[in-house]
Amino acid sequence: MVGTVIYKTTLKLATILAIMPMAASFAYAAPIEPDAIANATFQSWQQSKESKSGDETKKDGEQPVLEIDQQSGDVEAADTGEAKPDAAKIAVPGQPDAVVETPEQSTDVPDEAAAQVSANPEAEEQLDEAERKAANDEGDDKPAANEAEAEADPFLIRVQVLLDRAYTSPGEIDGMLGGNTRKAVAAYRAVNGLPAGDELDEQLWESLSQDTKSPIQTYELTAEDIEGPYFPDLPDDYAELAELDQIGYHNVTEMLAERFHMDEDLLKALNPDADFEKAGTEITVVAPGGAPEGEVTRILVDKAKGELRAYAGDAEEPVFVAPASIGSDDTPSPSGNVEVVAVVKDPTYTYNPEVNFKQGDNKEKMELPAGPNGPVGNVWIDLSKPTYGIHGTALPNLVSKSESHGCVRLTNWDVGRLAELVKAKDTKVEFVD
């Protein structure tokens, strides 16, 4: 919120999580065969899990290699020479987590937490803990940033695609059974009258697989895709950002990943030999869903679940559900009822140090251009509560895994879908604890 100040000596975990970049922090263990996704079933997934479980049991039952310490005579486990991973270390650039003053209102207030972390060695331990929590999503199968490889499951990719097409968004499609996927499963169960829970079982699969359309598709890169423009080295300084025409994607793979609701590394794993710099290149991508039909009259923002649910008319079940980052203890989202005031696509960000905060040496009011990697992403849905809104983000993999500065943050594609459903003055928004 406006006027929030975070001091070096009181830097909190929530602040670190809110600004910490974790995108594209690892590579998938091996290329993924498209047919494995298209042909994946619950039964094959169960068989695969049972096979892996058996291998792990066998491995656990093996006797350790022992050796005798020549000095003490003690028997101890031998050093097998396996390298131990280094502790996770990441840079924290001053990427803003702010939103727009469009129309003439601001939203999430940017802070200088990044600079404070770099200037405060005592924050090192908190930063490492925050990184592990964000990367693992409090139990996600996706590994922490210091783990070089991950193994995406073709069945889970298919499930995530089907959930996305059923308008119960799992967030970023990455083939991992993480918290956002489990929330999407729970939402799908509720919407479709299945027993409550977040587990994948045969009954869930039977319902999901009624959608028989392929979960993957072929896409041909166009000249426009290749040309961009792209911004591989976006500056941190606002004055430099203000000089750009837009705060665009870093590269073509980031753009394509967002277009198809995918993790960027998953896109590369599906296309290990693709030339992403050549028009006419055919690549494999997933086939996600669009926006449901109808007009949303009510939105429920569930702070406890980290979830947004959108309803049409008097329907008891939502027509669209998505994971969301919703406020924090220090900068909470509002409570009670508000309404949608306006929907702004490709919003700009107005920097005003007299209202919000002072960034670097910038003392003058300035306007930052629009763009998917801008402070508010691609869309800003303005709410009647001043300074609050629903908006996108440059870091889709942290949605619902980090905290916001009071607003409701969705992936760029989910807020884009929601924008097609809401109507100014007619859509009510309720925040619940």
Spatial distance between the Cα atoms of 111 and 386, rounded to a whole number of angstroms: 19
308 and 392 in contact (C-beta within 8 Å)?
A: no
Q: What is the DSSP string of 160-195?
A: HHHHHHTTB--SSB-S---HHHHHHHHHHHHHTTPP
Catalytic residue, candidates 250, 261, 391, 405: 391
Establish whether 405 is a catalytic residue: no
153 and 35 in contact (C-beta within 8 Å)?
A: no
92 and 126 in contact (C-beta within 8 Å)?
A: no
Q: Is 143 left (phi over 0), alpha (psi -120 to 50) or beta?
A: beta
Q: Count CB atoms within 10 A of the CB of residue 163.
A: 27
Amino acid letter for position 397: N
> What's the chain's length in residues?
433
Establish whether 407 is a catalytic residue: yes
The helix/strand/coil state of 309 is strand
The two structure tokens encoding residue 183 = 């929330």
Spatial distance between the Cα atoms of 299 and 427, rounded to a whole number of angstroms: 7
Catalytic residue, candidates 250, 261, 405, 407: 407
The helix/strand/coil state of 256 is helix
Residue 201 Cα distances to 43, 169, 207, 273, 428, angstroms: 10, 18, 10, 35, 35
Catalytic residues: 391, 407
